[in-house]
Chain A
Amino acid sequence: MLSRTAQIRLVSSHPEVYDPCDDSFALVDALLADRANLLEHHPSICMEVGCGSGYVIASLALMLGKESSDCYFIATDINPHAVGVTRKTMEAHGCHADLVTTDIASGLEKRLAGLVDVMVVNPPYVPTPEYEVGQFGIASAWAGGENGRSVIDKILPVADKLLSDKGWLYLVTLTANNPSEICLQMMKKGYASRIVLQRSTDEESLHIIKLWRNLDTQLEDGILTGFFAFSHGQITCAFRGRWKQSQI
């Protein structure tokens, strides 16, 4: 059987590029757990911001299987070495993604606005002194500034701009990033959310959040319903059913 995730032995590496680690595996596991929904979603554009080694976007392409050949994959990283490594990783798996060296999605925001159906982000989330944020090289893979939120808080408005009406965002966060606060903040913009995977490792407690536009409710209603959605997975599902109906 064909593998549904990228194989570590085929993932390229470079001294200045973050190798796949617990956070990358957690994100890919969350995507795998949601694979049936992803297949049903029929994304036409999938994007990864901060692609690093390419392990995540290659895995996403592989798990979408035949669906992936109809889909446009695009990935960015601020680290030029990472973009090069991602290309090799994709090639080794027989996949293709368009690659751009850029800060988050700078240069793509205008044309990709409202077009991205699936966005995956494993941001630099480690709390660090602010001056370490945005450095070139491998530090850009983890340095997240105060509460590890500096880069996340820049990515969220960009994601809001790029996601299509049916767009989904999968975001890796750490407890220190205050994921529930991230969800509440996005609910004010009309997003529902759910923690799709929670995993504690020796060093950190990871939360993979899935966010999607909740077209039914706005503002206060959105906060209220969204909060329940965040707290109770089942309500989220009902909620999504309603959203789907409203699309027909």
Chain B
Amino acid sequence: MRLLTHNMLSSNIKGVTNGFPLLIEVEKVVEKQVDFNEDFLRNMFPKIEWKALVEASRTMGYTELPENAESSMLDSDEFLRKFHHALIELHLEEGALVCPETGRKFPVNKGIPNMLLHEDEV
């Protein structure tokens, strides 16, 4: 699971009002090299919750992202490379996503998060 996916997920348990961002429990992180694509990053930047990405990447052991970001930073190659790495090259291969409100864990196995709920959570 890339951090891009993490950035799009919220806790979906009934009654949870503040389910974003999900906390990350790391068992295994893998890095996969992906071709750099500036247009993709520019497309995605306005859709990303930056603070959640910064926190998530730190949990995964990557601390290079600046605390704050604005669109003018997309002109910096150095910034784009860091954004690229954090967003799509870092993968949570095994671990869990944890609901910030209830502590409920959503497993991530073989890089795929499982957001299926039990009957009493829907």
Contacts and interface: CB of A to CB of B under 8 A. Distances in A.
Interface residues of B, number: 30
A115 interface: yes
Interface stretch (A79-87, A183-191, A208-216): A79-87
B69 interface: no
A72 B44 contact: yes
B9 interface: yes
A54 B117 CA distance: 23
A84 B111 CA distance: 10
A103 B115 CA distance: 8
Given A44-B43, A84-B110, A107-B115, A74 B20 contact: no
B87 to A, nearest CB: 10
A96 to B, nearest CB: 8
Contacts, number: 78
State the majority secondary structure of interface residues on A: mixed
B12 A112 contact: no
A111 B37 contact: no
Interface residues on A, range: 20 to 34
Contacts of B40: 69-72
Contact of A74 (B8, B10, B19): B8
A107 B106 CA distance: 11
A102 interface: yes
